[in-house]
Amino acid sequence: MPETYQCAECQRPFRDKQLAPAPMLHDDRWAKLAEKNEWLCAECFFERADRAHCLPVTLADLMPCNFNRVHEPHSWYDLFAKSAEPSAREAWLAEASFSLGPDIPEDIYGKPEIPQKWKLAH
């Protein structure tokens, strides 16, 4: 992620390590929320998802890639896996092992967190 990257909505920069970027979604899901090359922070991602009637986001929406596993065991995968069926978790992980996806060092941005307002019901 280049140093100049920032959230397309709130303009905050991702080099501020407090800011978590949105999870990476499958292209067709992402297309409902943002342009292909746009980056969003987690907060703005959930706001847009709500406006686009794309909530709740589930594990099936997540691209099985390394990006969604950064900060394990507090990764986007872990957060969404909690409310997924075991079979869905296995399917995601099986696919993830074949998908390289972006390989991003853990210290480049904040830990993924679902904003309180959008916490999943367990």
List residues binding Zn ion (CB under 5 A): 7, 9-10, 41, 44
With respect to Zn ion, which residue has the nearer C-beta, 44 or 81?
44
Q: How far is the CB of 91 from Zn ion (least distance, A)?
A: 30
Of 75, 81, 1, 73, which Cα lies nearest the Cα of 42? 75
Are the C-beta atoms of residues 57 and 23 closer than 8 Å to each other? yes
Q: How far is the CB of 34 from Zn ion (least distance, A)?
A: 11
With respect to Zn ion, which residue has the nearer C-beta, 54 or 84?
54
Are the C-beta atoms of residues 21 and 39 closer than 8 Å to each other? yes
Quote the radius of gyration of the chain (alpha carbons, Å). Answer: 13
SS3 86: helix
The residues that bridge with 6 in the sheet, in sequence order, are: 13
With respect to Zn ion, which residue has the nearer C-beta, 56 or 115?
115
Q: How far is the CB of 94 from Zn ion (least distance, A)?
A: 32
With respect to Zn ion, which residue has the nearer C-beta, 19 or 93?
19
Q: How far is the CB of 61 from Zn ion (least distance, A)?
A: 19
